[in-house]
Chain A
Amino acid sequence: MNLIRKKRRITQDLIVGILLGIPPLVLIGILLYLLSTIIITGFSYLEPQKLFMSIIDGGYLEAILGTILLLVGGILFALPPAMATAIYLSEYASRSSRIVRAVELAINTLASIPSIVLGLFGLALFVKIMGFGISLISGWLTLSIMVLPILTRSIEEALKMVPREFREVAISLGASRWQATTDIVLPAAGPGIITGIVLGLLRVAGETAAILFTACVLTAVGIPISPLQPVISLTYYLFVLLFTSPDPTYSRAFTVASILLLIIIILDIALVVLRRLYRGHVRVYL
């Protein structure tokens, strides 16, 4: 009697589990199918030598270069303040202090400000008031504000994963807090910090709204030689192509989208691999 009831319960659990699993899996399946269609279509339109030709000649060089430049600069500008904040929050401040609570709320708030509003801010401050114009540097500064919360939070997370004993041992051996941080905690948290940086890169690579008014102009052809010059990014170029494409098949839009998706997928795979490695890494220490 009891056994029958137990059996019925197990089958019921199984059926409900399958019913719950189907909708998200089907939806994700459809999206992955559409994304792979875009990539395949995009690359079928692409002649490889065009990757290194100017947009004027029907190539994609400026867009690829612009995306890489914005990526690198945006992260580099955000890294020092993000590191400093994360170190302060995890190593120096006492966990329950009011300032920590305020900063944590501020980080979440900054993360929730729409990127188009950050774009407006960049336009007002960097482009107009500081006089950088629509340029690479305005884009870098705007993007760095955008990724600041993501970087700070993931670096802080990585630092907190380092066991407390590490610090205690270093300090008991006469190291200062700063020495314990630079010599012991940061190296131990290294893979976690790199994971955070990749997360930031993912966010910046796909951004359009924040650079729309601050960094990008469609006439920015040729290789940029100064940070005061505007650029074209893959996202911006795709945006413009969707807006004003004279071509109903969107052939160039497909190609730009597929190059962009390829970059995103590579970064995402890097993220998954790093997480795997890092988990293994921590296990060694524990």
Chain B
Amino acid sequence: MIDLEQIYTELRKFWDRLWSERNIRLLLFMATIFTIIIIFLIGLFVFMESIPTYTSGVFWETLTQLDWSPSYKHYGVLPLIFSSILVVGIALAIATPLGILSAVFITEFAPKKLRDLLESLLELLAAIPSVIYGFMGLIYLVPAIANTFGLSSGRTALAGGLVLAIMVLPTISSISTEMMRYVPQAYREVALALGATKWQTARSVVIPTARSGIVAAIILAFGRAIGETVAVLFVCGASGSFPAFPFIFEPVFPLTAVIAMYMGESVVGGELYSVLFYLGVILFLISIGINLLADYFVHKAKEKMEVGVVL
């Protein structure tokens, strides 16, 4: 005769022991470590698929050839990297001043209602899918650029830069806003008491104090923009050769757009396939580097302002 009750109590004991405080802690800790492991896994698997590029000698061709056209087996990555940096550069040139000034407006000038409205609208813009930005760029911006500058096609580096500028504006302005809020109120009060206007206070006290934080915002925006895929794909023109000077009215082909466009026609394990993963490795390394740099500046900013509070 089996004693069901005893089995139940035994099981119960076992169950309680299994969920002891120590085991729970261990389980939670393992989940936490998983976040670190996953980054290594991403790097590892993307790299593994790109290995044929290095072993077959294609790697040197990617650095020496000056155009990207896989149908002719031309895998030059330099024009692609140049395109990415060009488009992101245009975007940051526009979004940085606009974003910082918006942050100044939000933290120093705007009445509370307007500030809340502006912040939630910027958040809404950040939530708009990138494919929608690509669509808007394609139907509104591309024809507008073609008409304004008398080009045969508006799909240019400028179009990509403008779309990205709008997409990273919320990033720059929200991080800058947060960093400016960290600036101790006493700093502002001192400046105002000395007879400075609000603008003078913002320019010579708030912005310099929050400088490291603003730099971090720009770096993070750079990372976001360089990894953006779908929005730039439709508006940049997809030309795999180096754009002619002065660059901005020429079609370009950012790294991300190349991966999205060619993966469909590549054969799994083939030459193009591994080169596309190699582009992925480049993007992965860029994003890691960007993030470490941004992290450094964020901590510098926070340290500076915490010291400020003590003083």
A75-96: which have CB < 8 Å to B?
A: 80-81, 84-85, 87-89, 92-93
- Which residues on B sit within 8 Å (CB–CB) of A209? 130, 229-230, 256, 260
Kindly state the separation between the CA atoms of A11 and B288 in the bound complex, as whole angstroms. Answer: 47
Q: B120 at the A/B interface (Cβ < 8 Å)?
A: yes
**Shortest Cβ distance from residue B92 to the other chain A in the assembled complex, whole angstroms:** 16
- Is the CB–CB distance between A112 and B287 below 8 Å? yes
- Is the CB–CB distance between A27 and B287 below 8 Å? no
- Is the CB–CB distance between B21 and A257 below 8 Å? no
Q: B204 at the A/B interface (Cβ < 8 Å)?
A: no
- Is the CB–CB distance between B129 and A235 below 8 Å? yes
Contact of B283 among A117, A176, A265 (CB under 8 A): A117
Kindly state the separation between the CA atoms of A156 and B36 in the bound complex, as whole angstroms. Answer: 17
Q: A72 at the A/B interface (Cβ < 8 Å)?
A: no
- Is the CB–CB distance between A102 and B291 below 8 Å? no
Kindly state the separation between the CA atoms of A265 and B283 in the bound complex, as whole angstroms. Answer: 31
Q: For the complex, count residues of A whose C-beta is within 8 A of B.
A: 82
Kindly state the separation between the CA atoms of A208 and B263 in the bound complex, as whole angstroms. Answer: 14
Given contacts A115-B229, A242-B134, contact A124 B49 (CB under 8 A): yes
- Is the CB–CB distance between A117 and B35 below 8 Å? no
- Which residues on B sit within 8 Å (CB–CB) of A88? 25, 28-29, 31-32
A130-181: which have CB < 8 Å to B?
A: 145, 148-149, 152, 176-178
Q: B18 at the A/B interface (Cβ < 8 Å)?
A: no
- Is the CB–CB distance between A103 and B32 below 8 Å? yes
Kindly state the separation between the CA atoms of A99 and B25 in the bound complex, as whole angstroms. Answer: 14
Contact of B132 among A99, A121, A250, A260 (CB under 8 A): A260
- Is the CB–CB distance between A87 and B230 below 8 Å? no
B222-276: which have CB < 8 Å to A?
A: 223-224, 226-230, 234, 256, 259-260, 263, 268, 276
- Which residues on A sit within 8 Å (CB–CB) of B230? 208-209, 235, 239
Kindly state the separation between the CA atoms of A106 and B31 in the bound complex, as whole angstroms. Answer: 13
- Is the CB–CB distance between B38 and A257 below 8 Å? no
A1-25: which have CB < 8 Å to B?
A: 5, 9, 12-13, 16-17, 20-21, 23-25
- Is the CB–CB distance between A118 and B123 below 8 Å? no
- Is the CB–CB distance between B35 and A206 below 8 Å? no
B128-150: which have CB < 8 Å to A?
A: 128-132, 134-136, 138-140
Closest 4 CB pairs of A and B: A114-B227, A206-B129, A84-B31, A17-B109
**Assuming A92-B25, A120-B46, A206-B132, what are 13 further A-B pairs, CB within 8 angstroms?**
A24-B98, A24-B105, A81-B35, A84-B31, A88-B31, A99-B32, A105-B292, A117-B284, A121-B41, A125-B41, A242-B134, A253-B135, A261-B132
